[in-house]
Chains A and B, each alone.
Chain A
Amino acid sequence: MTRLPSFVRFVSLALALLAGVVAAQSTTALRVASTASVTTWDPSLSFSTEAVYLANIYEPLLWANPAGAEEPFRPALATSWEAAADGLSWTFHLREGVKFHDGATLNADAVVRSIERHMAIGGAAFIWAPVAAVVAVDDMTVRIDLEYPAPVDLIAASLYGAWIVSPAALDAAAADEAYFEAGIGAGTGPYRLVEYTPDAEVVLGAFDDYWGGWDEPGHFQNVVVRIVSDQVLQEQMLLAGEVDMALSLPPTSYAAFAADPNYDVHTVVTPFNYVGFLNTTRPPLDDIRVRQAISYAVPYDDIIAVGAEGLGTQSRGPVPQGIYPWSEEVPRYTQDLAKARQLLAEAGHEGGGFTLRLTYAAENIIERAFAPVMADALADIGIKVEIEPLLFNQQWALAKADPKEAQDIFLLLYWPTYSDAGSDNLWSMFHSSETPFFNLSYWKNPLFDDLVDEAIELTGTDRATAQALYVDAMTILVDEAPALFFMDAGGWYAVPTYLEGFAYNINYPFATFFYPIRLAD
């Protein structure tokens, strides 16, 4: 009989004797898979998917509650707040006894300095545009003075540009602008940033002095987030028990998880929507009738079915449902090929007979799925669509270059920076500007601009009137059709039944709050 080398025998014995590594269900660590990479750890500069982590490390003055909640906001680092009668100042009363991760105590100075930094360099600095000054009234009271009325409660609850940061960290960052990038967290949130491996892993550890406390049993002491870009791989990891949660699962797996008794499937309304900008600088899309014809040709239900596996609703303009100032009064198109053909004929393009170049982000599987559906529908009215997948970076560069040379149709996934899609979605995507930001239709309409500008100013003091103005603006927008408004994307999460406390908040896209998630009894 052949004798195995002794090393091989040793290893075999060792492997046979060893038990499994980590108990799947203990409060030691919540293991998560996420696609969210980190563009920056700087709480002021943050403007991308790192919000998943920052929302657990930092806190704002207040949180916005999901639509339908009893109160629109709940206290965070501020326990109460009020606006002056004229809407030109807001006062926030801070929570006592809050510690930063570095041991410093929360006070008005920390709030003032944080907001001033966000205003100066923030990726989302524009949300603070109405602010004239931030003042420490006393050690635990902050007043925000405005140049014009604005909804500071919405602004201060933003996912971007509203985190309150330790003063010591702000000092360090002032001396070294790359201070945070090594993986430094300096907030008051329930979790500290323990370790960061770029594009691989983020490890969060419980902050023992968190003001919210850890008395409730079942809280996780640590959160280990694996950055995994592939949804199918995330699914495999979840099914194999390698992770407890996967934050991005393939849409095609929804039915399987919904039928699996080991998982609770949470179907949610998200603030993400899909828009198709039409290049209004070039014929034939410079003709409103052609744009309306295309709007009538789009098969909205099919796009939702194919692109989002039915999880979504047709948009009413660019403001997503559940986010101010969405309104069901805003009109929307339904597919009507006869009407589309009629409009084309009126525009001098009977039977279509032209080609449009459509670009979408190659990384986006939903756009990849529904772009051909749209192309087929336009083919029915004689418009040929050449679909061109590009990396988002490249698609963006193309659109930002000369509009005359850019694409005809730009598919975009959008979401508001904070829970005011009037000053964000409507302004960013369609307000006139010399250098377009997100206005990739390159559309200009002074009446729309005026309505939006006026509504922005009224949102802080007379939200009802502002809402009405927004509806008027969106009605013009839909009628002139500088863009196609496909769908408000739904989402879903499959949470193992041994976990409880998961809740999605539409106001915080990308963010998953780990603190409330606990092992079920």
Chain B
Amino acid sequence: MRRHLRPILLVAYVAAYGSFIAVTVAAPDALARPMPGGVNVAVAWGMGLILLAFVTAVASLAIPERER
């Protein structure tokens, strides 16, 4: 699992970022829907992508180093 963590993290982030762009382009009205807490999907998704970047960065510490 740890050996494959790098592509898994990359694909997961690309999926989250790519789907955000796809929804913005194809169905922007969906971004106006309210979320719990009172913010809309656009704000929650944008903040979520920033948070996910940090989580991904921390998770990348588990990737084995190929060379020292």
Do the two chains belong together in a single complex?
Answer: no
Residues on B facing A (Cβ under 8 Å): none
